[in-house]
Amino acid sequence: MFDRRTLLGSVAALAVLVAGPALAGPKEALAALQETVLSLGPNGETPAAASSVTLSDAEMAQIREMGATAAIVMHYGGNDWSQAQINGLQTQFSAMGIEVIAVTDAGFRAEKQVADIETIMAQSPDIIVSIPTDPVATAAAFRAASAAGVHLVFMDNVPSGFVAGTDYVASVSADNYGNGVAAAHLMAEALGEEGQIGLVYHAADFFVTRQRYDAFKSTIETDYPNIEIVAEQGIGGPDFSGDADRAAGAMLTSNPGLDGIWAVWDVPAEGVIAAARAAGRNDLVITTIDLGENVAINMAQGGFVYGLGAQRPFNQGVTEAILAGYALLDKEAPAFVALPALPVTRETLLEAWQTVYSAPATDNVINSMN
């Protein structure tokens, strides 16, 4: 289901975690996560800090004079994370005088993303920023773009066989391993470090979601011996909420004593919420990854979602755009850049929203806090 480089990255990240200092409990572990990055890059690269990726005023002026163009080729546009990435990219590209000529949404279908790339190439962009839906199925299309001289910057996932600095500029990611660890510690905190839980994971060859799954499961098994994982179910989409609803419903039927369910990101978590409501399980604890509006509202209301590990997608998009600027200037770029995990609970929700989206929380979230 997952390729070798995914497993190597996850194992290496786990080694970093295990080698770290022993912590007294979930609260201490969650605080420590915001000070470091546990993930390695798709090919095992050590992460560079996003704060190290900068352009001087003179470099910005030089880029503005180029009249460069860029396209944003998304794997999926139907969540708040994707929209925040796009907003960060567009904001920074605008500041650099780079015209965004296309923004596409593949709906998590590799064949659609390949077609999107081919259509965009007819417009001869200087830059493509993308997240491959499938690292193997999209590789040929991305390689053709690279061979044509397009500067490629990737979010999270990288096409199979690609080498940073040769085939693409760099990849930028949240600390997905760290966010999986955060979701595990939050689950343990909510359950008082004991109980039975289920996992709803992404059944696909997708580097970042595999990291989340590995991190959550390893942390529970290593740090919390009194929490038992009694059920696991993969979902393939594209109806991730509906798939997760059915998976969680089956778990709750088969395991009536289930205390919590982890979902791989916020959209599947919405399906788990629906299943918990249908089963009348108001006591079920849910943790997940990604701060989408719907899970934020549930958290704000004191609902099923106790907490989550958040990415920083707006800042990730800004960093990706800056790295595209590096390529235009022939400036050496780090192969892999990562931003630290951000654990979020109801108490930190409004502050975290500002950090994640570079904007105040929506009225829907704020009103749900009352």
* Domain-wise residue ranges, the chain: 48-175+312-341, 177-310+344-368
pLDDT tens-place string over residues 80-126: 888 999 999 999 999 999 999 999 999 989 999 999 999 999 999 99
Could you tell me the fold of the domain covering 177-310+344-368? Answer: Rossmann fold (3.40.50)
Quote the CA–CA distance of 358 and 315 in Å, as a whole number: 8
Q: What is the pTM of this model?
A: 0.79
pLDDT tens column, 7-60? 434 444 443 443 343 456 898 889 888 778 888 888 889 999 999 999 999 999
Residue 319 pLDDT class (50, 70, 90 cuts): very high
| Cβ contact 146:327 at 8 Å | no
Give the pair of three-digit tokens for residue 127. Answer: 């830059």
Quick one: pLDDT at residue 347?
96
Domain at 48-175+312-341, CATH class: alpha beta
Query: Would you state the structure tokens that stand for residue 350, as one six-digit string?
Result: 């409004």
CA torsion sign for 271, 272, 273, 275 is positive
260-311 confidence digits (pLDDT tens): 999 999 999 999 999 999 999 999 999 999 999 999 999 999 999 999 999 9
Q: What is the mean pLDDT of the chain?
A: 91
Amino acid 197 reads I
Q: How far apart are CA 155 and CA 370, in angstroms?
A: 36
Same fold, 48-175+312-341 and 177-310+344-368: yes
Cis upstream peptide for 334 (omega within 30°):
no
pLDDT at 35: 77
Return the beta strands (E) in the chain as ranges. Answer: 48-49, 69-74, 99-105, 127-130, 151-155, 170-174, 195-202, 227-235, 260-263, 285-289, 305-310, 336-339, 342-345
User: For 175-230, how does the pLDDT look when each residue is reduced to its tens digit (9 = 90+)?
Assistant: 999 999 999 999 999 999 999 999 999 998 888 899 999 999 999 999 999 999 99
β-bridge partners, 344: 308
For 66-79, what is the mean pLDDT? 92
pLDDT of amino acid 4:
33
> d(Cα 37, Cα 173) in Å, to the nearest integer?
10
